[in-house]
Amino acid sequence: MSETHVSAEDDHAPGLYEIRLKGHLEARWAYWFEGMSFTHECDGTTILSGPVADQPALHGLLRKLRDLGLPLVSVMQVDPKQADRPEVSENTDHDHSKSEKESNP
């Protein structure tokens, strides 16, 4: 059996995550996800993005999403360098989704 070694720094550094849900999460739930931003995509999904303190916090966040009943599409940890790119902005810009749709007939 192989062992996974993680440095102590990785255990305490918050990670940036993008969580995609099927359906649009209503703004009234924003207080449940303090510090996270919502983006409603034109394909009918919601992207919840922002910093997550650690793995227990991520599991707690996923538990809240489960309780809301919206199907989980994906969970991705985002490289902070990529988060600075315009495609991964916190504003509601649907151009990125439109370009994906155009390239996938």
Name the pairing type of β-strands 15-22 and 37-40: unpaired
State residue 3's pLDDT score: 58
Instruction: Return the structure tokens found at 20.
Output: 């995609």
pLDDT, residue 58, reads: 94
Q: What is the pLDDT of residue 11?
A: 52
Domains of the chain: 13-103 (3.30.70)
Give the whole-angstrom CA distance, residue 27 versus residue 5: 39
pLDDT for the residue 80: 78
Specify the DSSP class assigned to residue 15: E
Per-residue pLDDT of the chain (105 residues), as tens digits, is 555 555 444 555 679 999 999 999 888 888 888 889 999 999 999 999 999 999 999 999 999 999 999 899 999 999 877 655 444 333 443 333 433 444 444
